[in-house]
Structure 1
Amino acid sequence: MGLLDDLGGQLGSILDGAGQNDFMSTAVQMLGGSGGLNGLVDMFNKAGLGEQVQSWISTGANLPVSGEQLKNVFNSDTLSSIAPLLGTNASGVADMLAKMLPGVIDQLTPNGKLE
């Protein structure tokens, strides 16, 4: 379960406070459901955010992404279905992911490439 374990550990270091375990579990499900890391990268490319996701994979600086931009990556049904688990709304989920995903993907690709 290497990828998912790495993701959980990274999320744990980024997030704090109530709901951390729920958020980690939900984020892991999202990645697994989208074809893993490669599927997630494809989703970003299709949404026009290829430059951002490639910066997270590379060894250079990570470009930021906004919650609003992530609404183009993840459909509203996905974000809305996760929101009650985290005690927030779809925009709140998108904002959480915007803060978390650059660091998570960066940590999962330490050599600057998908493996």
Structure 2
Amino acid sequence: MGLFDNAVPGGNITKPLMIALGALLVGKMLSGRSAEQPDQTETPAPTGPASTGTTSADGGLLGGLGGLLDKLKDAGHGNVADSWVGTGRNQSINANDLGAALGPQVIHEIAQRTGMDEQELLKQLSTALPGVIDKLTPNGQVPQQHQVASAFNS
């Protein structure tokens, strides 16, 4: 997996967890559309059918990495999210706090697509997100969305 080696305790990211992370950070891994096309009508691009199933109405669950960080900040976890982006030690987030920040619709959508139980999904995401976001932001800067997407394709 390259970039994500050792991003989580134990070093392994399972395929369902990778799908879940992609859904949150890239969007198109679940929706079949780029996260850079929010709020457009449901007219698919003429590149063919989405290989991953149905499309999400917003073109990406949260609008990519920046959207995820904004959700965490809006829910009062800005200091935690900032620690993942910054160059210091990553703070942890409680699975229930993460679930409240993401919202039940997002959690349900990802759990359905990955086949994971919602509580197990939140537990794994709360463990993985600090390290994964830290790896995606090595210089303390949030990368452009295409750079995040390319990290999932490598």
TM over 0.5: yes
Q: Which runs of 5+ in 1 are unaligned?
A: none
Higher helix fraction (1 or 2) = 1
* 1:79 to partner: Cα distance: 1.4
Greater Rg by CA: 2
Contact 2:16 2:116 in 1 (8 A): no
Name the counterpart of 1:27.
21
Contact 1:12 1:24 in 2 (8 A): no
* 1:16 to partner: Cα distance: 3.4
Name the counterpart of 1:93.
121
| Cα distance change on mapping 1:84 and 1:11 into 2, 3 Å | farther
Task: Write the letter of the residue equivalent to 2:12.
Answer: D
Name the counterpart of 1:111.
139
Please give the TM-score of this superposition, normalised by the length of structure 1: 0.78
Name the counterpart of 1:16.
12
CA shift digits 1:21-40 (9 cap, x unpaired) = 12212320222221111111
Contact 1:11 1:100 in 2 (8 A): no
CA shift digits 1:38-87 (9 cap, x unpaired) = 11111111111000000011110011101011012111122123224444
Please give the TM-score of this superposition, normalised by the length of structure 2: 0.60
Name the counterpart of 2:36.
none
Q: Identity of paired residues, percent?
A: 32
Deviates more, 1:36-45 or 1:47-56: 36-45
Name the counterpart of 2:87.
59
Q: Is the partner of 1:114 in helix, strand or coil?
A: coil
Cα distance in structure 2, aligned partners of 1:74 and 1:43:
7
Q: Which runs of 5+ in 2 are unaligned?
A: 28-59, 144-154
Task: Write the letter of the residue equivalent to 2:139.
Answer: N
Name the counterpart of 2:40.
none
